[in-house]
Amino acid sequence: MPYTVGLQAAAIALLSAGIPTIFTTGIILFFFILSILSSVQKDGPDAPASLPGHSIFAIIPFFRRRYDFLNWGFQATGQSAFQFSLLRNTVVVVSGESARRTFFSAKSLDLTEGFKILSGAIPMVRGVTSDLQTKRVSLIHKRLASAQRHEHLSTLLPVLLADCRRMMESWGTSGVLDPFERVYELVFQTTVRALSCSEISDDPALVARLKNLYDKLDTGTTPATVLVPWLPTPAMLQKLWATRDVYDIVTAAIDAREKSGIVRNDTLQMLLNGKDEKLVVVGFIMGLLIAGARATGTTACWIATFLGGHPDWRIKAKAEVELLLESASLSVGEDKSAISARLATIPLEAWEGQTPVLDSIIRETLRVAQPHTAMRRNLGPEMYIDGRLIPQDAYVVYPFSDVHLDPEIYPDPWRFDPGRPVESDVKSNYNYVGWGGGKTVCLGQRLGKIELKLITAMFLLGFEHHVVDGSGKPADPLPTPNWNDILFCRPPPGSFGLKYERTKATL
């Protein structure tokens, strides 16, 4: 028994050594495991080309500089598809028209499984936001559709505009703002309003705390927390505490509503009226809040930035909103009431069907400033994409930059130009996938578009603005989206800002 006793003695010695020693030992063990599990792949005749070198060196770049890493992979292999390993997980990266069409239409490629392993930024609570039964996932999708019905959205319009007014008033009459701070805070508020309940959305301090917790989930998402979540790193502990706190906030709001007996006109009430089990209600709010806020927030930040640097499109968009007000018999010059009150009189049908300029601005912003990398897992059986074998259980990645930044499809692809011709996405081999494609499109796009239009309209009518550099001078060149920032496409903090001044109109 000497071997067993030796292990036991070593364990006791380690536990008595203190947290620093335990943590250091854990890190050493982690990298030892990486070196064992990650190995150079052997390519079969139909397999995608493997990246040169040991696959352990792919882990950090994939999570930290994904855009550069994927582009390097295509260049290093000289192929339209390549593979590498994340520990024991095979990841295949594909590109090109044929691969894009198959990727977005193949039934065996599962979105949920792919996102869970390769992203890891959504708060994971077993049975609430992860490891959900198919029936429960379908129910959440059904409830999201209900939250975007015409009647519900129409009722929501004036409340969202009131949130915009309150938060924009806090900006003061002039100044310089970082859109990735102030505009994102605004989008987070409107998303909480649209997808949760008044118990949370009516409390600015609670909304700010909730945003801070989700920010911790973002900063706590590291290669280790995604690939070896059982390893007690400081980042993993931060994620666990933040997830628990988010869960507590949501469940407390649900309990307060149920105990009060008060019936309110919000999304939580819709969920409770549906007699859904509590885990479904909690999962709906926890998961969709941050999924909606991140995507819509990134787009809103860049719309404000692009319009600040392209006054011609700013003028066109503002004129379109003013025309909507005139159609509602509420021209800016004649009516003295607040902007938010005037915009609230515009019917939902007009926001959705009479704003071609805003639609083109949103579309172009999604093309050039949404750093998405679509992720799927092949649930089986093995399949082929563009002649390359995808084994069962392998992960498949498609970078949106392959199509959205392709100069053959979009000449001068980094240029912001909402006037680009729009073709049928299906007929042109999914040449635009800003809202997804095929069988996996964004289920919350109706709400997302409305949020973007309301926020943009309030900003255009309430403020004049332009882009300045870090020293406060007019920016030249204008900021360029950073696709290595997988959340916001954000340039270096402090490199630019939006200089604004309130118009004479009352918010």
Which of 299, 449, 467 has its CA nearest to residue 369?
299
- Residues 50 and 79: their CA atoms lie apart, in Å, by 10
Q: Angle at which helices 278-309 and 311-327 pack, to 10 degrees? A: 120
Question: Cα–Cα–Cα angle for 300, 114, 480, nearest 5°?
Answer: 30
Cβ atoms within 10 A of the Cβ of 264, count? 14
Q: Is 164 annotated as a binding residue?
A: no
Torsion of Cα atoms, 145 then 489 then 424 then 147, to 10°: 10
- Residues 95 and 111: their CA atoms lie apart, in Å, by 17
Report residue 365 CA to chain centroid gap.
Answer: 14
- Residues 365 and 279: their CA atoms lie apart, in Å, by 35
SS3 198: helix
SS3 389: strand
Instruction: Please report where in the chains the tokens 């069409």 appear, as a residue.
Output: 101
Report residue 432 CA to chain centroid gap.
Answer: 18
- Judged by phi (left if over 0) then psi (alpha if -120 to 50, else beta), residue 233 lies in beta
Report residue 120 CA to chain centroid gap.
Answer: 12
Which of 264, 6, 286 has its CA nearest to residue 127?
286
- Residues 358 and 324: their CA atoms lie apart, in Å, by 12
- Residues 162 and 506: their CA atoms lie apart, in Å, by 12
The DSSP letter of residue 58 is G
Cβ atoms of residues 274 and 152 within 8 Å: no
- Residues 296 and 415: their CA atoms lie apart, in Å, by 21
Q: Which residues are annotated as a binding site for heme?
A: 442
Q: Residues at the annotated binding site?
A: 442
